[in-house]
């Protein structure tokens, strides 16, 4: 799950960078239809980035009590057990 989230975030970031470059070219060429399409792709890229981040957070669960860990400490704030970080 965590790996899938990382891949998703990497792909989304890559798409966003390419999209920004293409959008710059479209603006330079006064192609505003193209800019609109790029804006939609950028919105999808941002949504994918957020989804990836949410997946990453929710994949980070305490192995002892199963609660989602949002903090980066090595102990679970809910049950106090030690959490192994990969």
**Distance of closest approach, residue 53 Cβ to Zn ion, in angstroms:** 22
- Of 42, 83, 59, 74, which is closest to residue 7 (Cα–Cα)? 59
Choice from 7, 40, 79, 82 touching Zn ion (CB under 5 A): 79
Taking CB under 5 A as the rule, does residue 75 contact Zn ion? no
**Distance of closest approach, residue 7 Cβ to Zn ion, in angstroms:** 27
3-class state of residue 68 by DSSP: strand
Taking CB under 5 A as the rule, does residue 68 contact Zn ion? no
Taking CB under 5 A as the rule, does residue 65 contact Zn ion? yes
Taking CB under 5 A as the rule, does residue 54 contact Zn ion? no
C-alpha R_g of the chain = 19
Binding piece for Zn ion, criterion CB under 5 A, among 11-19, 37-45, 46-54, 76-84: 76-84
**3-state helix, strand and coil shares in percent for the chain, rounded to the nearest 5:** 65, 5, 35
Q: What gap in Å lies between CA 57 and CA 15, rounded to an integer?
A: 22
User: Which residue ranges make up the site for Zn ion (CB under 5 A)?
Assistant: 62, 64-65, 76, 78-79
């Amino acid at each position: 799950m965590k790996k899938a989230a990382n891949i998703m975030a990497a792909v989304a970031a890559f798409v966003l960078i390419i999209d920004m470059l293409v959008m710059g070219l479209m603006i330079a060429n006064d192609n505003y239809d193209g800019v609109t399409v790029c804006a939609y792709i950028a919105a999808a890229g941002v949504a994918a980035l957020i989804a990836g981040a949410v997946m990453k957070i929710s994949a980070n669960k305490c192995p002892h009590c199963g609660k989602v860990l949002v903090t980066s400490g090595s102990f679970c704030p809910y049950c106090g057990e030690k959490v192994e970080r990969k």
